Amino acid sequence: MTKYQEYFKRMLDAEKELFDSFRLLHGEYALAKDTEPLQAKFNQEGEKVLKVVRTWEDKLCHQSEKGGYGVYSGNLAEKFQAEVKKEFPMIDHVGIIVKTFSLKKIKLQ
In a domain, residue 104? The reply is no
> For residue 93, is pLDDT > 80?
yes
In a domain, residue 60? The reply is yes
What sign has the CA pseudo-torsion 70, 71, 72, 78?
Answer: positive
Query: Which comes out higher in pLDDT, residue 39 or 70?
Result: 39
Number of domains in the chain: 1
What distances in angstroms separate CA 10 from CA 16, 75, 76, one per listed residue? 10, 19, 16
In a domain, residue 32? The reply is yes
3-state secondary structure of 103: coil
16-37 pLDDT, tens digit per residue, is: 999 999 999 999 999 988 888 8
In a domain, residue 106? The reply is no
In a domain, residue 58? The reply is yes
In a domain, residue 79? The reply is yes
Give the pLDDT confidence score for residue 35 in this predicted structure: 86
* CB atoms inside a 10 Å sphere around CB 60: 22
> For residue 100, is pLDDT > 90?
no
Looking at residue 88, the DSSP 8-state letter turns out to be: -
Determine contact, residues 15/51, Cβ cutoff 8 Å.
no
In a domain, residue 70? The reply is yes
What is the extent of the structural domain holding 45? Answer: 3-93
In a domain, residue 100? The reply is no
Give the pLDDT confidence score for residue 67 in this predicted structure: 63
42-79 pLDDT, tens digit per residue, is: 999 999 999 999 999 999 888 776 666 666 777 888 99
